[in-house]
Structure 1
Amino acid sequence: MNSPDTSATFTCPEFLNMERAIIDEFVDCTTECHTEVEACVRALNQHGGPEYIHRMFRSMHSLKGNCQMVGLTPFKDLMHRVEEIFAQLRANPDQYFQELGDFLLMATDQIVDLLYELLKNGHADETRRALLAGVCETLRQQTAGGLRPEAFREAIEMLGGRAAEKISNDRGERVSLQLQDDFTLMRYLAEKIDALTVFRKDRNIRSVDMARELNAALGQIVDPRQLEAAVLMHDMGMAFIPHSIFNKETNLSREEIRIVQEHVQIGAQLLMRLGGWDEAAAIVLDHHERYDGSGYPNHKKAEQIHVGGRMLTIIDTFCSITTERSDRSYKKSLLSAISEINANIHTQFDPNIVGAFNDVVRSMMMRSS
């Protein structure tokens, strides 16, 4: 198998060799900074206000400092060039115009994209990084005598013009309402749920893949389309949980537990409303039932629980352990998940399905190695 061409890439071994917990913390901080920049650009485009300019500057300066701390020199240099342009706006906040905000959002978007590419592949596109650096340098020279919208329009075009598309609603363009097919809508909603926290990144995609393999290992005992719909929608009700409960660090009260448990009913009812997804709704409703009858919402046990629900509860537990914590390595998390699942057969999980699940995970490990 040929090795990928890395002649036009860059890498940052100092960063990539750091402890996983430090890398995860850096990614978390980067996501917060990126979200803050986007929120500030939207606010500036809608109603302005110098406070948003100062907030955006703090976020960008924090991101640059974090890059320096973890040895991401190519990113630190990029952030410095962007920050130089932004310093002119900070000194003259009344000169803000939408093209400037579009460019700043695009620049930070591309920096974050390069970072995730580096984390995924161990190297990232040097051509793209150099283009962004060159555009920033040209902008710095062109705006030395003052900020001009046409200079930023040209810069956006050189970078592909995607920032303008990303916040097109702020330009007053009409939004066309088109009825999507059910799967397109469900995948879209699942992506929104995964975007609520960095620890859920691509979780629903992985869950769908795992459910598909587990179903195949069991001889397709559940309709594949109904199962995929259930996986995509099973946590949809979590979007309606108040943040004060969702982020609470102490024990939940009895009423708060009841509110959290309602998410299975919400997901099931949404599927029923779509029509044609009755089996998927039953799977969602049952995915927190336990094999010994101590689950919720109906305290079903063993064969009373929909077989898809028995499958989904195993997958959900596995993904919770392997994706929602940043203080341990992937292999340790995977083995911990398998150990916990196997330790709870007959109480929480169907032993027959656990056996097939073990084979699926073993195949995953073999492929990854």
Structure 2
Amino acid sequence: MEIASVDLINPQVEDWNSFQDFRDALADHAPEIETLVAKLKQAPEDRVIITNLFREFHNIKGDAGLCRLPFVIPIIHSAETLLSRMRDGEIICSDGLAEIFLLTLDRIEQAIDLLAERQPLAPLGLLSLANGLDSLSRQAVAELDAATIRLIEAVTGFKPGSALNKDFSPSTQQRSSNELHQDLVFFRELALQLEARSPLFQGRTERNLSYALATNKIAGNRVDPEQLEAAVYLHDIGMMFLPESQWLKPEKLSDEAKVALQRHPLWAAEIANRFVGWQQATQMILQHHETVIGSGYPNGLGEKDICDGAKILAIVDAFEAILLKHSHRGQQKSTLRAIAEINAGDRQFSAPWVKAFNQVIRNQIETNA
């Protein structure tokens, strides 16, 4: 099947029952692919791992054909071609190629999630991805590394580097009022109590604070840094009023649980609002799950009604969630995969603030390269 003959810009679901079957099967294949890619990075010439990884991708392609989702097929076919060349000993798996396999999986999962919500797939750039993968799969060995870097940059907006998701420890910003400073100390303690609920959250508070403050700084500190710091500490405190099964476990939530979960910004904002002097932070907390197209909660605000601090917080919060999204599979997403997903969410986040956040991540990658 020629790529040009497949609708990769606006694919349609022909049979919703079959679509759900594919979605369920993909959920089974995805964690195995992530595990196999991790193993392949450690043993890049292991043909048993390569064969098993090929089989997982091939099964997804077969499922897509049976479930009448043809847009998946050319994307997966190119990944299969790369794996076939590895299996034949023509090429050796590099970290870049491993990243390509994971980014391919991410895009397919994102596409299926968007289709399930009846949202457009244009932000994912599937046609460009399919063409890029097709070109990469046919590259001469001598040109493969350079082509891999180009494709990763095309998908994520970043050149790959040896970036690590490390903790940052910025010094606490101080106000002239000792009382407000003590409030910040208390807010931080609350955040650390929330962080202690799961080992997956270790370092979460400092990461979020570092990303938020750095993003704000790149944009010229348009948001009061102390107010933003307070919002970082308190934005998810409302989660502590919910059963842990509703926010620490990967199980699918019931409609009732989703409604309860969507109240956590209200609870957190109410706590912040009871401390005099933190009204800006309160607004950021209340709005951090609103989206630029008005599909967020709790009030369905549009971009013009969302404060800048909430726009920063939304990106930082989502980035952390994406990094941990598949931790129950035993694999955390890389920085490149997470930032690619953020940049694909142009219907969720404010574009100018995404641009500033991109620069923060780019600086991190370049520093650790």
State the TM-score, normalized to the length of structure 1: 0.49
Answer 1 or 2: higher relative contact order, Cα 8 Å, separation at least 6. 2
Larger Rg: 1
